[in-house]
């Protein structure tokens, strides 16, 4: 049975760590994946990077299926973007580590991504639309980058200040 894990919240410095590659798919990695899906579905969210549950590994869970429909859980191990389109698209993004904050972010409309699946097979896929946005957002997490880093300095400073203040209040 999967155990939901605590999601680390801005301004936690771990969110700025660069995650390490997964060397081998061990039973512990499979347990982590199960826990991450449970955490992501409970949140609820559509993507989760391992660093968001304080595990600095290059591992992402994602499910872009509609709420009512069948679940379509996907795992991306050591994902990397091989190519990005010049064409950009704008999506309103949110993040489980920056709760209840949403802002429009401009990113490449299409990307080619290489990753390993849970069976250890290397795969390459073209992503567009929500899939492209989500995979870029989650890979950014693996590199210590947050979606607020794409915002204007004013907006970024405002959200950092808000979450830093909230963390101080919670610590009291």
**DSSP secondary structure letters along 49-105:** EGGGGT--BSEEEE--S-SSS----EEEEEEEEEEE-SSEEEEEEEETTEEEEEEEE
pLDDT at 1: 75
In a domain, 5, yes or no: no
In a domain, 2, yes or no: no
At 102, which CATH number? Answer: 3.90.45.10
pLDDT at 66: 77
Please list the active-site residues.
138
At residue 59, φ and ψ (nearest 5 deg) are: -145, 130
Q: How many domains does the chain have?
A: 1
In a domain, 59, yes or no: yes
Q: Which residue stretches of the chain have pLDDT < 50?
A: none
pLDDT at 2: 87
pLDDT at 69: 76
In a domain, 4, yes or no: no
Domain that residue 71 falls in:
13-171
């Amino acid at each position: 049975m999967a155990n939901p894990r605590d999601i680390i919240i801005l301004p936690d410095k771990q969110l700025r760590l660069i995650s390490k590659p997964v060397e081998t798919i061990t039973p512990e990695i499979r347990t982590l994946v199960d826990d991450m899906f449970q955490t992501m579905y409970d949140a609820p969210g559509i993507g989760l990077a391992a660093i968001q549950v304080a595990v600095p590994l290059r591992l992402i869970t994602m499910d872009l299926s509609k709420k009512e429909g069948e679940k379509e859980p996907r795992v991306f191990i050591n994902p990397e973007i091989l190519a990005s389109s010049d064409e950009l698209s704008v999506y309103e993004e949110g993040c489980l580590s920056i709760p209840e904050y949403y802002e429009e972010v401009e990113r490449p409309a299409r990307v080619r991504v290489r990753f390993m699946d849970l069976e250890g097979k290397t795969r390459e896929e073209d992503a567009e639309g929500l899939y492209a946005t989500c995979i870029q957002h989650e890979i950014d997490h693996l590199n210590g980058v947050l979606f607020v880093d794409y915002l204007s300095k004013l907006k970024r400073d405002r959200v950092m200040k808000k979450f830093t203040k909230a963390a101080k209040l919670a610590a009291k």
